[in-house]
Structure 1
Amino acid sequence: MSKFPPRRLLAVAAALALIGGQADAKGSQNRPKTSLDGSEQVCPLGSFHCAPRPYSYAMCRPNAMLEFYDPTLSTDSDLRDVSPAYVKAKSVDSSNQTVYHLAGDAWLTRADQRLQADTIDYNDDTTDYDARGNVRYQEAGQLMAGSHMRGNTQASRGIADDVRYQLLDARGNGVAKQGQMLDAQHTRYSMATYSTCDVGNHVWEFRGKTITLNKDTGVGVARDATMRIGKVPFLYLPYFSFPIDHRRKSGFLYPTFSKSSRSGFEISTPYYLNLAPNYDATLDPRLYTSRGPMLAGEFRYLVPGSSGQLNVEYVPNDHGDNDGLANTHGTSRYLIDYTDRTQLWQGWSFVGSYNHASDSSYLYDYGNALSHTVIYTLASNAAIIGGGKWWNASFGGTLYQNTNPFATDASLPYQQLPYANFSMNVPLTRWLQFGMDDGAASFSKNGYVEGQRVDLYPYLAGDFGTSAWFVRPKLAYRYTGYQLSGDYQNYGYYGLLGSGTASPFTQKSPSRSLPVVSLDTGLVFDRSTSLFGQSYTQTLEPRLYYLYVPYRNQNNLPLFDTSLMSFDYWQLFSPNQFSGADRQMNANNLTGAITTRLLDDDGVERLSASFGQIHYFTPQRVQLPSGANTVTPVTDWSGSAYVAQLDLQLSDRWRLSSEYQWDPNNHVTDMASLELQHRLGSDGIINFSYHYRRGLMEQYSASAVYPLSERWRLLGSWTYSVPIKNVIGVPTGTVDAMAGVEYDSCCVTLRLVERNYVNQNYYGVAPVPSGSNINHRDNAVMFEVVFKGLGSSGGQIDSLLRRDILGYQ
């Protein structure tokens, strides 16, 4: 074996030239950590948001490499400039001191680079080289083979014939009649193919007259190209660009094909524009067979101190059938969604959003019913927000638009224009804090009482204790005052115009003020125990919470943003059962609760069980109205419902969560829920749930991702609602059913999903709307294909599956 100086490296340029510049060897540290070996991070049970499953190449042949690949060769490209070059051949002729001739299985190796050929000629003065016969090249990011290679190392130029190449970082591979290196960053292949499938087993590939790879931009371009599935051509593209690394690039995204009841078949062909490193855009022309063409677009920006996104959809001429909801036939329709966040000065920012549709039926007609939940209102907001170490504040306004064509604007929340909020929490000593939660707003809503409200809520809070006990007293004072509009006398208790003959508002400036006193105490005991041969730490945590709030008559206060919150375990320790500031409950209550937990040796909580109840020493006199002019009678109960909850996960494959409320006053179950989750292998999940709330709902749900084999997965979800007596406007029977199938292979993933569901716009509407074009049930179908390494058809199915199947990846 001979040793060459670093200057005499025959294959430096040839290596970069003929693999196409796809992967910079020095960038190998940027490879996806889970994309090439098929490994993935499994989403923990109970997670509501699971990260997308990375592309799995586990089904690719483990040794699907060009035959000369040497896994023992160094992968550290940083050593090239300081490493000598070694050559090996059966004969070395250096009689000409300028030209070196290597013959007979010639090898040249430096750091991570190796060039092999039958014969190699190298000119030390001009740095020209010529390698002939069974030429093979390997470096950290790529492999290449050819019959003949020649070029110049100093100029970084080279040409190779009958090329086979493989990109190790991105799995791209193919063949070409000729490969030409234009410089160190640009390579062009003639009569070439490209695919991310196994070498020699291309399920898909595209063939181009020329394929150019640009390392500077991370983009490959194929001209006069044909996309093929197997040997069958199915798409011709005169120009096609694709990524060769993980940077963004301009180009067509894969089209989406779907169908829904309201808009018919949809074909979408988005085009992505990588305008600059800090802003980009997507143009998305669509065609709806039942309604006509649409142009949609998205623009995102990130500039110093500001970021935002603008989404626009525009229909120039809707030719859908009229259905009595809105006269939209022949009209232009649109949707605007804009958000922005801008840094104003230190600690202060502007946040804003503008959401508006041309009409209330727009989302009903064009909303993607397959992958999105129904939106009943569009909110627009603008605010200046700030914060410091112990405080935060906001000032702005919020407006709403009705997007439920079956409901009137009476269903909208009050507009708040303007509003102001201020909160602070200042430590006075190590155990004492002073704080406040204050707000002021002007409320407006057509046909309802309007006015301004100020809510002041200062408090002193103490925090005493150790890891074994705590005592947390809190003394607060709440003042809420109103300035109602001039015609307040015309409104009734509910705020409705003309409904107040029995109980109209009698004061222009009503107010309420009262103290709120609470004492929260608890103990924590622990011991070592064992269960099923596993050691645990068990805790026992009794807790007492006392709350005192004197009664104030609040029947003359309007209801701007207040509602009764659902009762659950955490309501046992809440100072108010109402959201908003329009009602403050009266209380002379004592809550008793106890919790036990099991913690494994790693500190992971495997079991948590809690039980509690509120004991009322005085009646609950503050109530919301049960009708236009009536007030719910005083509740004279000795105690609240008993509340119990359980979370159990003794293994990483099973999880059970349950909650139960039993009312001892009426001897009925108020609420019950059960959720069971089981993981199948690393990519399967089964969920079952039951939810019941007295007088409101009773539903069963099941969902699953069931792996049939390494390549096939079944996907499905089902929700069934039991009829509730004397409750109208709530759908019963099968509310939502979704079924799908997913096929995964080395380089292609296919998904087909169908959804049948009750149109949720009817929820709470009575009588249920009728008409020849009113869809009481809707259907949606979508097909998606993912060519691994190139992109997908939009990923819209993923959002549906993540929403409907807990733990889906």
Structure 2
Amino acid sequence: MALLPATFSHAQEPVDEDAPILLSADQVTYDEELGIVVASGNVEVSQNDRVLLADTLTYNERTAIVTASGNVSLLEPSGEVMFADYVELTDDLEEGVIRNIRILLTDQSRVAAASGTRTDGNRTELSKAVFSPCNLCEEDPTRAPLWQIKAVRVVHDQEEQLIQYQDAWMEIFGIPIAYTPYFEHPDPTLDRKSGFLSPTFGISDDLGFTAETPYYFNIAPDKDATVAPLITSKQSVVLLGEYRQRFAEGQIELGGSATVAEHDGRQDQFRGHIDSTGRFDINDEWRWGFDANRATDKTYLRFYNFDDETILTSRAFVEGFEGRNYASVQGLTFQGTRDIDNNDEAPIVLPYATYDYASEPGSYGQYLTFDANAMALSRIEGRNSRRLSLISGWTLPYTAPAGDIYTVGARLQTDLYSVDGVDPDSNLQNPSGDTFSGIEGRFFPQLFAEWRYPLVRHHSRVDEVLEPVASVIVGPNSGNTGRIPNEDSLDIEFDETNLFSPNRFAGRDRVDTGQRINYGVNWSLYGAGDGYLETFIGQSYQFNESDDFREGTGIEDNLSDVVGRVEASPNRYLDFLYRFRFDSETLEAERNEVRLRAGPPIFSFGLSYAFLNEDANAEDEFGDREEIYATVNSRFSENWFASVAGRHDLEDGKTLSYGAGIGYVDECIEIRTTATRTFYEDGEIEPSTTFLLTVGFKYLGAFGAGF
């Protein structure tokens, strides 16, 4: 071991230039008269995490030149490794000449060259060089990789974290396919840098030929932006943009697009959209934020293939969390994107304030709850309402010595409404004729009690759980009036998730009146591993006559429909869910839902099936609805995969969409191709066929074409 009067440096990290250089070798000789140190046999020189290995190393004190030969490798602190047959460097290893150089980058990408020079300790210039991130063929390493870039001159700048090419051409399987006088891409250590992103090209009936070339701006470590002009041959240029920034207490993402184009038979119409979010912490308990989602017209997003949402929701909010309590104040607006939507009748909610409080458990486990709500809802056209609501409750859970579990409690819902333009005889949002405007109130108390008794039996390989459940809910026989508009309780879906709920309506505008009992049974099997089978079946009986629920909901009669669920996952290759609702008298299906995923990666399939009886959705204009969606996926090798998917309307006997795709991916390339046919129609959206081919080269980006 010896100490040499030299220092290493590294461009990306501060180093200790006074740190010693450590040399180890099988043999070290020193000619004091000539000032030459010669090390041979397993030579290793290290300083500041940089290591030089060689068979032989010579250091000339007079010329301050270090030469190394025989299996030379230089390990950089960043993780890169440089190999060479012969290296001649200055004593600080920052400048020199290298022959037959090969560089292994941090992600296993490779650079090879006939010769190179190293300057400033961070810049390597190579002549007659080749770059490729592809692995070499194990059977014949001399074969050309899947793709590579050859260049007369290549510069690897570690400080800029770039690899630059001059007079470069790209080869696939050794065949040249493209040439460029200059090209650059980031090295594996670079997270982001300003520059053009991968372009995409396509053809469609509505837009014609399209080309999108995004440009990325790396403004600062905490902010960036992307501008992406979308050029179309049949429409005007669409300018898309996104700005992102992180703050000490939050972040924002501002995005959108704009164009002036033909729309609805009129020329030079402004079209665009906003899609932005923000989240900011006020302190450890409070935060505020916003979501802005808006389009100039209903079909803009789908016409340009930006989004397919049917409702765009915008909101601004402040919310707080403290222990068991939650508070929020927000404002919301909605925009429908279907042709049948009338957005002048869409609600504008400002404010929508809630406060949910749950006390700490008392000495017997009892606790109090208070759920307060204030809402002001208005429309450009139609009825308006203001609401103050408080749901207060008391709950006592109890576990008996025998193991059965009891829960008893009481709740009181108190509501005060101020309304304008409400039709007491209908729920029309924009009624005509005589309407009611004024003040309306409601006091609605309820008592409830629930009993469940989990019974467990251990078998050799599984545990079995049988749990009967029953509850009683008692309340007044009235509480809903037409003078209170129904804004948040329109969607009624009676199933096993709300069977035991005191209020089976989704919101506060309607209350679940009367007296009823609910009963059901859970039966489950749990394996020694992760496998399980869970089932539930249940029903309710309403003692009083009630017209709170419309026909077809399954709870409009005294005896409700039978609801339940079967869920199974015996192993990681099978997941099954079946949810049902049967008519209590005929046992005919009113609602069926099936979801299935089965098979290993080499061949798996998925199935989603939904059936909704016309009577179960009486306000729906479509009648019976029965639809199936199926997918088949296969990763039939380590690199190849394929998929087929289709959606079919079984009630009308027509296909809604279908498609297929195949792809290949490895360490350096990704190729995907898909073909899709859709049959949806809505406004200017018509049935269409799309073909998409995407080829992604590591570091170079992805290039796509759609037809």
User: For the superposition of Structure 1 and Structure 2, which TM-score range results when normalised by the shorter chain?
Assistant: 0.7 to 0.9
Aligned counterpart for 1:446 among listed residues 351, 370, 380: 380
Q: Shift in Å at residue 99 of structure 1?
A: 0.9
Letter in 2 for 1:643: V
CA offsets, 1:8-43, max 9 Å, x none? 789x67xx8xxxx8x99x9xxxxxxxxxxxxxxxxx
Q: Distance in 2 between matches of 1:242 and 1:448?
A: 57
Deviation at 1:210, TM superposition (A): 4.5
The one of 235, 242, 245 equivalent to 1:298 is 242
Alignment pair present for 1:709 and 2:637: yes
- Relative to structure 1, the CA distance from residue 137 to residue 447 in structure 2 (aligned partners, 3 Å threshold; closer, same or farther) is closer
1:386–1:643 Cα change, 3 Å:
same
Q: Distance in 2 between matches of 1:157 and 1:633?
A: 81
Q: CA deviation at 1:300?
A: 0.6
CA contact (8 A) 2:4 2:20 kept: no
Does structure 2 retain, via aligned residues, the 8 Å contact 1:540–1:595? Answer: yes
Residue of structure 1 aligned with 2:439, choices 509, 512, 533:
509
Moved more, 340-349 or 572-581: 340-349
* Distance verdict in 2 for CA 1:783–1:664, change over 3 Å: same
Shift of 1:239: 4.0
Paired residue type of 1:543: V
Distance in 1, matches of 2:479 and 2:423, equals 24
Match for residue 620 of structure 2?
A: none
Secondary structure in 1 matching 2:497? helix
The CA deviation at 1:456 is 1.3
Matched to 2:696, the amino acid is V
User: How many Å separate the matches in 1 of 2:565 and 2:555?
Assistant: 25
**Are residues 637 and 495 of structure 1, via their aligned partners in 2, closer, same or farther at CA, if it must alter by over 3 Å?**
closer
Amino acid at match of 1:688: L
Give the conservation status (yes or no) of the 8 Å contact 1:478–1:514: yes
Gaps of 5+ in 1: 27-77, 627-631, 725-731, 763-768, 798-809
1:272 equivalenced with 2:202 (yes/no): no
Decide whether aligned partners of structure 1 residues 492 and 544 sit closer, same or farther in structure 2, where only a CA change above 3 A counts: closer
Cα displacement string for residues 102-140 of structure 1 (whole angstroms, at most 9, x for unaligned residues)? 56x7743659945225x5321357752022466445678
Asked if 1:175 is matched to 2:112, the reply is yes
C-alpha spacing 1:737/1:93, structure 2 compared with 1 (3 Å): same
Residues 433/557 of structure 1: CA separation in 2 closer, same or farther (3 Å cut): same
Q: How does 1:515-594 map to 2 (within 5 A)?
A: 515-530=445-460, 535-550=461-476, 551-594=478-521
**Whole-angstrom CA distance in 2 between matches of 1:557 and 1:619:** 21
3-state SS in 2 of match to 1:571 = coil
Whole-Å Cα distance in 1 between the matches of residues 455 and 423 of structure 2? 59
Please give the residue correspondences for 1:571-720 in structure 2 after superposition, counting only pairs within 5 Å: 571-602=498-529, 604=530, 606-623=532-549, 637-681=557-601, 684-695=603-614, 696-720=624-648
1:89-128 aligned within 5 A: 94=31, 96=33, 98-102=35-39, 107-108=43-44, 113-117=51-55, 119-124=56-61, 127-128=64-65
The change in CA–CA distance for 1:251 and 1:99 in structure 2 (over 3 A counts) is same
Which 5+ residue runs of structure 2 have no aligned equivalent?
137-141, 615-623
> What whole-Å deviation, never above 9, does each CA across 1:278-307 have from its counterpart, x for those lacking one?
111112122223323222111111112231
Q: Distance in 2 between matches of 1:367 and 1:123?
A: 67
Distance in 2 between residues matched to 1:401 and 1:381, nearest whole Å:
12
**Match for residue 478 of structure 1 among 410, 413, 421:** 413
The equivalent of 1:36 in structure 2 is none
The SS at the match of 2:193 is coil
Quick check: 701-710 or 216-225, which moved more? 216-225
Give, as a single letter, the amino acid of the residue that structure 2 aligns with 1:538: E
Q: Which moved more, 1:174-183 or 1:735-744?
A: 174-183
Matches within 5 A, 1:72-87: 84-87=22-25
Pair 1:748-2:685 in alignment: no
DSSP-derived class of the 2:463 partner: strand
Displacement after TM superposition at 1:350 (Å):
1.9
Deviation at 1:328, TM superposition (A): 4.8
- TM-score, normalised to structure 1, is 0.77
Report SS of the residue matched to 1:329.
strand
TM-score w.r.t. length of structure 2: 0.87
- Alpha-carbon distance, 1:666 to partner: 4.7
Q: Structure 1 vs Structure 2: percent identity of aligned residues?
A: 21
Give the secondary structure class of the aligned counterpart of 1:363: helix
> Does the aligned pair in 1 maintain the 2:254–2:275 contact within 8 Å?
yes
- 1:388 to 2:322 alignment: yes
Relative to 1, partners in 2 of residues 1:517 and 1:490: Cα closer, same or farther, differing over 3 Å? closer
- For 1:203, give the aligned amino acid: L
Query: Is the 2:169–2:176 contact (alpha carbons within 8 Å) kept by the matching residues of 1?
Result: no
Gap change, CA 1:274 and 1:656, over 3 Å in 2: same
Q: 1:130 to 1:607 in 2, by over 3 A?
A: same
User: Are the equivalent residues in 2 in contact too, given 1:174–1:193 (CA < 8 A)?
Assistant: yes
The structure carrying a bigger strand percent of its residues is 2
* 1:182-207 CA distance string (max 9 Å, x none): 33444343443322112453222233
Amino acid at match of 1:557: I
Q: Which amino acid aligns with 1:716?
A: V
Do the aligned residues in 2 keep the contact of 1:621 with 1:635 (CA within 8 Å)? no
Q: Report the equivalent of 1:788.
A: 698
Q: Secondary structure at the match of 2:626?
A: strand
- SS for the counterpart of 2:498 is helix
Residue correspondence of structure 1 range 307-326 to structure 2 within 5 A: 307-315=251-259, 317-318=260-261, 326=264
User: 1:255, 1:354 → 2: CA distance?
Assistant: 27
How far off its partner does 1:605 sit?
5.0
Q: 1:566: how far off?
A: 1.6
SS in 2 for 1:364: helix
Match of 1:341? 279
Q: Structure 2 vs 1, CA of residues 271 and 226 (structure 1 numbering), >3 Å: closer, same or farther?
A: farther
Question: Are 2:475 and 2:514, in contact at CA under 8 Å, matched by a contact in 1?
Answer: yes
Counterpart code for 2:110:
N
Shift in alpha-carbon separation, 1:701–1:396, aligned structure 2, 3 A: closer
Across the two proteins, how many residue pairs are aligned to each other? Answer: 683
Match of 2:658 in 1: 737
Distance 1:666 1:239, change over 3 A: same
Q: Secondary structure at the match of 1:463?
A: strand
Deviation string for 1:742-784 (max 9, x for gaps)?
A: 122442110011221232x64xxxxxx6xxxx54422233222
Q: For residue 196 of structure 1, what is the aligned residue in structure 2? A: 133
- TM-aligned CA distance change 1:108 to 1:97, over 3 Å: farther
More helix per residue: 1
Q: Which residue of 2 aligns with 1:242?
A: 186
> Measured at CA, do residues 674 and 353 of structure 1 come closer, stay the same or move farther in structure 2, by a change above 3 Å?
closer
Distance 1:229 1:789 in 2: 15
Q: Relative contact order: is structure 1 or structure 2 higher (C-alpha 8 Å, sep ≥ 6)? A: 1
Measured at CA, do residues 568 and 183 of structure 1 come closer, stay the same or move farther in structure 2, by a change above 3 Å? farther
Query: Does the C-alpha gap of structure 1 residues 635 and 251 become closer, same or farther in structure 2, counting only changes over 3 Å?
Result: closer
Query: How many angstroms does 1:414 deviate by?
Result: 1.4
Give the residue type in structure 2 aligned to 1:85.
Answer: L
8 Å Cα contact 2:406/2:449 also seen in 1: yes
Alignment of 1:30-45 (within 5 A): none
**CA offsets per residue over residues 398-433 of structure 1, 9 Å max, x none?**
1223433453326x6411022211111111515121
* 1:47 equivalent in structure 2: none
Contact residue 492 and residue 498 of structure 1 kept, 8 A: no
Whether contact under 8 Å (1:352, 1:381) holds in the other structure is yes
Asked if structure 2 preserves the Cα contact closer than 8 Å seen for 1:755 and 1:780, the reply is yes
Could you tell me how far 1:346 is from its partner in structure 2? 4.9
Distance, in Å, in 1 between the alignment partners of 2:179 and 2:479 is 74
Is 2:7 the counterpart of 1:5?
no
The structure-2 alpha-carbon separation of the partners of 1:573 and 1:216, relative to structure 1 and needing over 3 Å to count, comes to farther
Give the CA deviation at 1:693.
1.6
**Deviation for aligned residue 1:441:** 1.3
Between stretches 557-566 and 746-755, larger displacement belongs to 557-566
Aligned to 1:363: 301
